[in-house]
Chains A and B, each alone.
Chain A
């Protein structure tokens, strides 16, 4: 049902664009918009050579072909008579007490990434953890978590996991491996020689206590907690501003005005911030209060795409801009903290900061008016002086929207450099690397490896053999966190981590290795870490709370401690001077943690590798992003191979052009270019060698040289896939427009249909997606992938437009290339009542349920793909190749048994999580009651941290979804086609200060 566009063009001339080609309106883009699919996504014309990925035709005649088919059929019949593969079906007689076949169990647990702690709820089926959501009882995260945490269930079933200890490359038992470690530790203790232990961040009080006991038993122990992408500059700045390491936690529920200095707090990592953001953006009417987000940043971040006012600023000038703001606010009467000296700065907009005077004045006014309800946040990768300026501004404003929480210190790149020098001098008797990979993350990897080789005994504790493991004599396989015990501190609750499955292999958690070492060193400690944890917690728990209850809930609520470290005004002068002197020199490279890979620890996770980057929409790669202006000046086109050189390091990689990126700024993701791991190996380039050794700005490097290297690389990028002919798809309103003309110049066409009105006797399922609350973090994509067994297809297939995600996030730009506004729009099957896909299916494989679901009968589908052609939303996905059948354990253990795994040749798409609908229906029927509103949650809805997605029964007029459908911002995508979609979108909202926003945020 391909609708012809009217002669005069689409219903509305689109002001939104997704790719540079669309913006410039090249003939190719115009053609592509009408082609809908990528050339590789569907065979075109009469050339069927490429169909289904088969090799080219060999000129076999029809007669030969039929002969071969007959022979194949005969052979298949013969082989089918074989008795091989005959299994035995046995009843589940030795069933564990907790496991009831077909019934899911849920365990509360927790996950840590750097200093961040994610309380989670683990869904297990027949003993296997299969899906993660946030712990709904935690007062901060309220049932939400991050995309990477959700995807981490796949790491449990990573086939590359080390399954037994190794010594000198040979598989050995735990006693033998540990005896070598213990001998080395005893030898070091006896000789009084230091032992180096490098671990990740310590966020667990019990781990901290254990490390203290370890230090007491082995006084020569030197411990470094190292997080390569936590931000050394932030650590250095916190020590300068507060005299101790702190973790700055945004409390956005209290924020009316937010100023971001390159801070990407909406990137999906912080579910608490996203929850608060969503709550302030889901407006029912134009008079509801709304916050305002100002963003000054170099590369375009996800937070920047959600800004109300955004200005591209070179990172090296951010500090100067922020201190100038402080000076301006001080001149307007806000008191400077005692000892603060800003005399090094001149007034007004600093040089090299391209912010119009009117906007500058408006920003100062906004911050001053909001006072304690204003907050300034700085990105972890930004230089230390920008952080210190943010600390100063928050102190001046008396901001209540950020809390400085004291934290355990983290080692910086400088500390690691010192450790490397000490190793090289032969000072250490032994080194233990626990869940860290400095051989990959340390900028000077060769020097690090040479230094490590000088340590007589080297042990590694981890899950997948990595670059660091390759240098160690003893490898101790670590349990996944879903197999481990632990505890963590969060500001509002102490969080407990418990295993949701017994260990799959001969693994132990790192704490148990330390306990065994303590025993070997003569300390009296419990046998297992569970007992150690329990003994500690029984002393700490409040009266009336048992350890079992705390495990059940996954947390113990604690009163928030009010004492925050005070800001030291004396630290300002030096930072302000540095900021004033800091100049942009040549091209400036910003190295940031990869959305999928973080610091490389998730690089072996195929779900994450295939999740498109929220902004660039890149998968399976980390090209360098450059601004539109620089691309023009250097003559670089998208996909061109370039060389990036600095300090003797040269990388050869593809380039992408990023609208909105500041001129003179390059951006490159860390965590790629791994040399180990079945999935990670060889994906992208390793950018860690470009990281600086100055801890005040290791992630911002000046004087980078970029040159065309010749040649191109095909990018596995999804932003131009699944085109919808430039129709009116996405709507964005300013607050003025929302107040006065929410439907704008969009007109709802009169719909005429030949079809009978459909009747839905019991329920009519529907969804509402609020574009104002959606930040584009992609949590919904990962949640859907995990819930619905969505296959991974790999970079080559993605490049051909064959990715399989049931939900995608379309990212639209609006306005100028140099600084566009951005709107994110989740797009999934719209479950149309007059579904165009249903009419054209020759075998009725896709049809309509009596509850309004557009459903698929997979075993009926013959793969004509007519439905995908006829779907105006381009949300149907075809299994061009066999993506799943060759998977074996342990990978298959991650499957959700409630969802069919689809074979080759079958079409699939969003089912509105029909298995969840049926689960609730069955439970409600068993209880003899009606289904409650909000009881059914689709995976994307449950995973959405900003609560942008609401699912429910449209037949129930009191349901939340029914009420939202009637909202003034509501519209349906492509409503004019008369397909009657079941998904309603609420238009995006922007609250600019200059034109069209609320006068007061």
Chain B
């Protein structure tokens, strides 16, 4: 009987300690986000995630 009462208290204690620790770590990681540099052995990506769309040079538009 005593064991059954003691166990939740231990769990609650663990949560009381771990909760703020995890939340704090998340908050710190948001404030100081490390740069995600690719590892040196990664080849340069030939395909950019977004393509740059540029207007044509010297072209004359009909209307718009």
The residues of A with any CB-CB pair to B shorter than 8 Å are 83, 96, 98-100, 103-108, 121, 124, 126-128, 163-164, 171, 483, 498-504, 530, 548, 551-554, 889-890, 893
A553 to B62, CA, bound (A): 7
Q: When the two chains form the complex, which single residue of B47, B54, B63 contacts A501, counting CB atoms closer than 8 Å?
A: B54
Max chain A C-beta neighbours (<10 A), residue from B46, B58, B59, B63: B59
With A106-B64, A893-B53 already in contact, the answer to whether A498 and B59 are too (CB < 8 A) is yes
Given the complex, which residues of B lie within 8 Å of A96, measured CB to CB?
Answer: 54-55
A107 to B59, CA, bound (A): 8
* 25 contacting pairs across A/B (C-beta < 8 A): A96-B54, A98-B55, A98-B64, A99-B55, A100-B64, A104-B64, A107-B60, A107-B62, A108-B62, A124-B64, A127-B54, A483-B56, A498-B56, A498-B58, A498-B60, A499-B57, A500-B59, A501-B53, A501-B56, A502-B56, A502-B57, A503-B54, A530-B57, A530-B58, A889-B50
Interface residues of B in 31-64 (CB under 8 A from A): 46-47, 49-51, 53-64
The residues of B with any CB-CB pair to A shorter than 8 Å are 30, 46-47, 49-51, 53-64
Contact in complex: A105, B58 (CB < 8 Å): no
With A164-B46, A498-B56, A501-B56 already in contact, the answer to whether A105 and B61 are too (CB < 8 A) is yes
Distance in angstroms from B12 CB to nearest chain A CB is 22
A100 to B61, CA, bound (A): 13
Contact in complex: B64, A103 (CB < 8 Å): yes
Q: 6 smallest A-B Cβ distances: which pairs?
A: A502-B54, A105-B64, A499-B56, A551-B60, A106-B62, A127-B53
Distance in angstroms from A502 CB to nearest chain B CB is 3
Contact in complex: B59, A551 (CB < 8 Å): yes
With A98-B55, A501-B55, A502-B56 already in contact, the answer to whether A163 and B47 are too (CB < 8 A) is yes
Contact in complex: B53, A106 (CB < 8 Å): no
A607 to B33, CA, bound (A): 44
Distance in angstroms from A919 CB to nearest chain B CB is 12
Max chain A C-beta neighbours (<10 A), residue from B46, B49, B57, B60: B60
Contact in complex: B63, A106 (CB < 8 Å): yes
Distance in angstroms from B42 CB to nearest chain A CB is 15
> In chain A, what residue has the closest Cβ to B55?
A96
Given the complex, which residues of B lie within 8 Å of A128, measured CB to CB?
Answer: 53
A99 to B63, CA, bound (A): 11
Given the complex, which residues of B lie within 8 Å of A163, measured CB to CB?
Answer: 46-47
> In chain B, what residue has the closest Cβ to A889?
B51
Contact in complex: A552, B60 (CB < 8 Å): yes
> In chain A, what residue has the closest Cβ to B50?
A889
Given the complex, which residues of A lie within 8 Å of B55, measured CB to CB?
Answer: 96, 98-99, 127, 501-502
A6 to B21, CA, bound (A): 78
Given the complex, which residues of B lie within 8 Å of A483, measured CB to CB?
Answer: 56
> In chain A, what residue has the closest Cβ to B44?
A171
A107 to B46, CA, bound (A): 30
A501 to B57, CA, bound (A): 8
> In chain B, what residue has the closest Cβ to A122?
B62
Given the complex, which residues of B lie within 8 Å of A100, measured CB to CB?
Answer: 64
Distance in angstroms from A504 CB to nearest chain B CB is 6
Given the complex, which residues of A lie within 8 Å of B46, measured CB to CB?
Answer: 163-164, 171
> In chain B, what residue has the closest Cβ to A103?
B64
Distance in angstroms from A2 CB to nearest chain B CB is 48
Given the complex, which residues of A lie within 8 Å of B30, measured CB to CB?
Answer: 83
Given A502-B57, A504-B53, A552-B61, 11 additional A-B pairs, CB 8 A? A98-B55, A100-B64, A107-B59, A107-B61, A108-B62, A128-B53, A163-B47, A499-B59, A500-B56, A889-B50, A889-B51
A171 to B53, CA, bound (A): 22
Given the complex, which residues of A lie within 8 Å of B57, measured CB to CB?
Answer: 499, 502, 530
A107 to B61, CA, bound (A): 5
Contact in complex: A121, B64 (CB < 8 Å): no
Given the complex, which residues of A lie within 8 Å of B61, measured CB to CB?
Answer: 98, 105-107, 552
A505 to B33, CA, bound (A): 32
A164 to B46, CA, bound (A): 9
> In chain B, what residue has the closest Cβ to A534?
B58
A811 to B61, CA, bound (A): 40
Given the complex, which residues of B lie within 8 Å of A99, measured CB to CB?
Answer: 55
> In chain B, what residue has the closest Cβ to A482?
B56
A251 to B49, CA, bound (A): 50
Given the complex, which residues of A lie within 8 Å of B49, measured CB to CB?
Answer: 889
